Structure 1
């Protein structure tokens, strides 16, 4: 993933909550969560992308824990 991100002109990361009909959903009707954290390895993925040399535009990407 890191090699692909570094070789790209731009990286668009789309992350969010888990939804669906069954399972451990974190979004949807009657499925709200008290934690604003991203499920799965999404936070790790964003942290990895933030360390690449791919330009991110005029504003730095900041990860808040």
Structure 2
């Protein structure tokens, strides 16, 4: 697991918490910010996933 994957998962979780808090207090703004943070986190994790695949592929090619 690389930095992007870890940070992405952390942002996704934080966004879910923020969205839930927004629902509890009735704040549409906090709900929206939470959803935004979730999307950012999911995207960052996917970037990390792609990086990991690329790095693994390069290792296999250079070290057969």
TM-score norm. by structure 2 comes to 0.33
Pair member with larger Rg: 2
TM-score norm. by structure 1 comes to 0.33
